[in-house]
Structure formats: structure tokens, C-alpha cells
């Protein structure tokens, strides 16, 4: 039996209280560390002090062997590395045995995006039903400011400053950023404010309310956006993060300012933002193939292959 098993619980409390990580992230850490604890017990490791570089490398290799993919292995190793840093802080370990261990590289899937015409088609409705007015304000704000779903759900009325066309957002790691709000989004939000009083119960400060007067749930937003996209004739599945991806892609296409887009999205690492440059290149390559006279292939023609002499 692994001694000091309560250290995982203390670590999770540290993530909640000091690091202020989301519940979703805490649960992911908990699952990954449960796997590590099970592995240690199977290897007859009785204390965290006995966890060394050799055991961690074998643990990662075993998880890969049973089918865990590259991205999941990277997340798993990140959880182990962070936990070991905590154990060093608590003077349980003297060094981090997870440092220097590599996981198999994984190809990064490019995010789906709506093009500008599809986005305009999605937002081209002017239904006067109060809930539809709310939904339009939600979608305009997603696309105008590139918010995450959790960020939008947690917005309060006081976070929005329509006079200056800005919104203050609390993102990952409890970090705040102030974002511009576009003209169309401001108009949609003002229309929603006129309707919001109809749903207000008990002085709820939430910006977006459900039909029962509670803070709107993430699931409700997902379902309402999907249904609205279907009504607008969008063939692809539309979800909140798709609007964030579309915002980022369209911003880069127009400005090519990667650092600015990083700030707007709230990415800690610019490498996360760089994936949208690949989308931009795909767009340019498509335009090139359609427009350049020597890029077009003749019908039925085959590309010749050449062998190096």
C-alpha cells in the first residue's frame, strides 16, 4: 500500500486554493495521479520518495503501450511533473523525476472554422423573441471578442462597459483581460439588456440569464447555438469554441499580428496561437491554387515524378 496517499488530496486542494485551476482541470489531474498511484502500488513502491526517473519513464511507456495517445501522454506527464514539483515544495522529494522524459510526438489537428460568409449567415437573424435576442447577443459576443465558453458564462453585468465598448474577462488561472466589443455585438447586447429585466430574479448579477432567471448554463448555450445554426442553414455543426476559432482565424487573416491575437485570446504561450497561422496558410494556399495560372492542373493530367540521378 502506497504511504502518504493523502498527499494527492493535499495537492488537489493546493490546485484549487492557490493555483485556482478549474474543476475540469482538477478532475483531469486527479484521474492522471490515480493512474500513477495504481502503477506505484503494482510496482511495490511504498512511498513517493521512491519515485525516480526510471519508474516515471516506465509508467509513461506502459500508458503508451495500452493505447494512450501522444496528447494524452503529454497531459499525463504534465500532471506528474506538477505533482512532483509540489512534493519538492513539501520536502518529500529533492528533485523532479519527471523532468527530461519525452512523449511521442503527436500531429496537431487544425481547428475547424467558419468562413466570413458562413459567420454572417449564422448571425443574420433578427427574431424579436426575448430568448432569441439573448442568443444573438451571446453569439455576437463570442465572435466579436473570442471568448471561451466558461468566460462568457461567468460574465456579470458589471464586467461589460458598453460606453467604452469593452468587456473584462476572467480566463484560465483566474487571469483577467480587457477585450474590445464590436459594434454589432454592442447593439445586440443593448437589445438584450432591454429584455433581461423580464428574466431577472433576486438581483442576479449574471450577464446572461436562463428563462428561469438563473445564470445560463454552458449546456444551454451549446444546444441553442447548434439549433440556431441549423435554422440558419449552416451544414456544419456549430459550437461555442468554433466561434472563438473563427474569430482568431479571421483576425489573423486581416491583421497578421500574432502577438495581438495571442493577447486577445488569453493564450499564455504563443505556440498555442500559432496554430491559426497554419489555418491562414491553408487559406492562402487555396487562393493560390485557384488563382495562379501555373498552379491549376489540367483535367486528366498527371504530375510527373523525377528520380534523383
Alpha helices (H) along 197-239: 218-231
pLDDT in tens, the chain (309 residues): 565 668 888 999 999 888 888 788 889 999 999 999 999 888 888 888 888 999 999 999 999 888 888 788 888 999 999 999 999 999 999 999 999 888 776 656 666 888 889 999 999 998 899 999 999 999 999 999 989 999 999 999 999 999 999 999 998 878 889 998 999 999 999 999 999 999 998 888 999 999 999 999 999 999 999 999 999 999 999 999 999 888 888 887 777 677 777 778 877 777 766 666 665 545 545 544 565 454 555 555 444 444 433
Which one of the listed residues 57, 81, 148, 214 is annotated catalytic?
A: 148
44 is in which domain, residue-wise?
Answer: 6-89
> Is position 276 annotated as part of the catalytic site?
yes
Which one of the listed residues 172, 214, 215, 283 is annotated catalytic?
A: 172
Is 304 a member of any domain? no
Count of domains for the chain = 2
170 and 275 assigned to the same domain:
yes
121 and 71 assigned to the same domain:
no
pTM above 0.85, yes or no: no
3-state SS of 229-290 is: HHHCCCCCCCCHHHHHHHHHHHHHHHHCCHHHHHHHHCCCCHHHHCHHHHHHHHHHHHHHHH
> Is position 211 annotated as part of the catalytic site?
no
> Is position 148 annotated as part of the catalytic site?
yes
Cell readout for 163 is 460606453
Which one of the listed residues 35, 57, 214, 241 is annotated catalytic?
A: 241
> Is position 283 annotated as part of the catalytic site?
no
> Is position 267 annotated as part of the catalytic site?
yes
Which one of the listed residues 134, 196, 228, 244 is annotated catalytic?
A: 244
Which one of the listed residues 39, 86, 143, 276 is annotated catalytic?
A: 276
264 and 178 assigned to the same domain:
yes
Q: Which residue has the cell 498552379?
A: 295
Query: From edge to edge, which strands make up the β-sheet containing 166-170?
Result: 160-161, 166-170, 176-180
Q: Are 260 and 276 in contact (CB under 8 A)?
A: no
> Is position 143 annotated as part of the catalytic site?
no
The single-letter DSSP state of residue 291 is H
Question: Angle CA(169)–CA(243)–CA(16) in degrees, nearest 5?
Answer: 40
128 and 266 assigned to the same domain:
yes
Cα separations in angstroms, 151 against 122, 144, 198, 214: 21, 14, 24, 16
48 and 128 assigned to the same domain:
no
Is 136 a member of any domain? yes
Amino acid at each position: 500500500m502506497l504511504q502518504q496517499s493523502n498527499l494527492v488530496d493535499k495537492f488537489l486542494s493546493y490546485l484549487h486554493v492557490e493555483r485556482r485551476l478549474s474543476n475540469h482541470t482538477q478532475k483531469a489531474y486527479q484521474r492522471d495521479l490515480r493512474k500513477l498511484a495504481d502503477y506505484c502500488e503494482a510496482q511495490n513502491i511504498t512511498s513517493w520518495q521512491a519515485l525516480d526517473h526510471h519508474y516515471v519513464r516506465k509508467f509513461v511507456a506502459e500508458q503508451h503501450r495500452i493505447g494512450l495517445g501522444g496528447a494524452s501522454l503529454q497531459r499525463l506527464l504534465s500532471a506528474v511533473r506538477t505533482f512532483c514539483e509540489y512534493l519538492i515544495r513539501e520536502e518529500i522529494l529533492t528533485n523532479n523525476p519527471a523532468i527530461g522524459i519525452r512523449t511521442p510526438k503527436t500531429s496537431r489537428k487544425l481547428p475547424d472554422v467558419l468562413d466570413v460568409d458562413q459567420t454572417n449567415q449564422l448571425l443574420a437573424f433578427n427574431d424579436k423573441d426575448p430568448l432569441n435576442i439573448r442568443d444573438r447577443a451571446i453569439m455576437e459576443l463570442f465572435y466579436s471578442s473570442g471568448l471561451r465558453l466558461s468566460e462568457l458564462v461567468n460574465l456579470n453585468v458589471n464586467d461589460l462597459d458598453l460606453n467604452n465598448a469593452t468587456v473584462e474577462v476572467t480566463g484560465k488561472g483566474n487571469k483577467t483581460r480587457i477585450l474590445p466589443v464590436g459594434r454589432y455585438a454592442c447593439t445586440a447586447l443593448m437589445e438584450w439588456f432591454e429584455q433581461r429585466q423580464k428574466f431577472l430574479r433576486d438581483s442576479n448579477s449574471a450577464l446572461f440569464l436562463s428563462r428561469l432567471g438563473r445564470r445560463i448554463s454552458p449546456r444551454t448555450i451549446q444546444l441553442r447555438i447548434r439549433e440556431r445554426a441549423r435554422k440558419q442553414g449552416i451544414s456544419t455543426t456549430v459550437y461555442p469554441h468554433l466561434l472563438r476559432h473563427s474569430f482568431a482565424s479571421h483576425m489573423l487573416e486581416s491583421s497578421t499580428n500574432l502577438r495581438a491575437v495571442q493577447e486577445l485570446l488569453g493564450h499564455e504561450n504563443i505556440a498555442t496561437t500559432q496554430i491559426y497561422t497554419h489555418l491562414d496558410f491553408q487559406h492562402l494556399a487555396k487562393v493560390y491554387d485557384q488563382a495562379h495560372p501555373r498552379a491549376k492542373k489540367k483535367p486528366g493530367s498527371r504530375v510527373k515524378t523525377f528520380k534523383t540521378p
